[in-house]
Chains A and B, each alone.
Chain A
């Protein structure tokens, strides 16, 4: 499909907000895999502004900075993610990983325990397993 046809189809059948968010996430994820961190961040930033309560927005934007070596900015974003989406186990785990990288071991323990507590509250067994494995890896 060429660009003109694509635009014309887009105008005929504009995507729903949910679909738009998914497409943004999809594009950003692909760019992140290509190691185009600044481009991926553009997509995730747009997603974040549109869907701030979606934990993937914070995780993904934080991941762009983390992969670009900007650990403290990533930490701020994961921290904000845990504040905006208090049930986000993944943001807590991501935060714990960055804290470990920054050698803030005392805070790693706190973050991972919080993540485990949340995962159990949510009742997601897969998340519990992920966090337990993470605790084993990060805290020992």
Chain B
């Protein structure tokens, strides 16, 4: 970045190639109109794909849990298991599908994160820093949601290799995801052979799962809010792009007319 006035810090932004001042506004118009159309389409496709995968995973999880509930509905104990398992499964389904959605390949992961970063930036300029961060549930000590999302997605793809490069918060989240996934698996196992589960063992796992669930839900709720914001942003991009193009087209015409008047001496 260009250093702040009075600062002796090294400028971390490399200088641009060529003359950045030449026809900056024209480049802005041409490049944003071209790139933004491309980005909106790509972004929309990414999000639609993510939503479809999430819906599919969610549907499968609900079907499995429904079968478990039906199989054990005559036991009150299993009613409570099913209740917990249903909640856990919902979160696990969301966690899993987001991981799958963003983990479909390196470009997919990075693309989704880039769109999310762009949305954060747009919202920040539009609404102010505190408002948008609070809306996302980011507090002073919170891990970065972007890092979490990426590392969880990457971990799903690489079988955990990506975790090594993440921070401690990310590792904790991945551990949480594993525990929640394990809890879901336990519920499915229970449906297949209820008699094999001991109440004491379940109680301990239950408490762990509930404690981790709260954190997992908070993280996932944050990601879901971001996805909603991304959709809103993509819709708004279409509209604002048209407005920006019209405004810039007007500015360019004015600039062109001024140039003509200047060069022909008619001003």
Complex CA distance for A27 and B31, rounded to whole angstroms = 10
With A30-B24, A72-B129: A43-B124 Cβ-Cβ less than 8 Å = no
Residues of A within 8 A of B151 (CB): 83
Closest residue of B by beta carbon distance from A38: B125
Chain B contact patch, size range: 35 or more
Option from B28, B38, B117, B133 in Cβ contact (under 8 Å) with A27: B28
Complex CA distance for A42 and B240, rounded to whole angstroms = 12
Closest residue of A by beta carbon distance from B12: A90
Residues of A within 8 A of B19 (CB): 26
The B contact surface, by secondary structure, is helix
A-contact 0/1 string along B57-78, CB 8 Å cutoff: 0000000000000000000000
A-contact 0/1 string along B80-103, CB 8 Å cutoff: 000000000000000000000000
Contact between A23 and B150 (Cβ–Cβ < 8 Å)? no
Contact between A72 and B133 (Cβ–Cβ < 8 Å)? yes
Complex CA distance for A58 and B110, rounded to whole angstroms = 12
Contact between A46 and B32 (Cβ–Cβ < 8 Å)? yes
**Chain A residues within 8 Å of B, Cβ to Cβ:** 1-4, 6-7, 10, 20, 22-27, 29-33, 37-39, 41-43, 45-46, 48-50, 52-53, 56-73, 75-77, 79-80, 82-84, 86, 90, 93-94, 97, 130, 133-134, 137
**Chain B residues within 8 Å of A, Cβ to Cβ:** 1-2, 4, 9-10, 12-21, 23-24, 26-28, 30-32, 34-36, 38-39, 42-43, 110-111, 113-118, 120-122, 124-125, 128-129, 132-133, 138, 144-147, 150-151, 165-166, 252-253, 255-256, 259-260
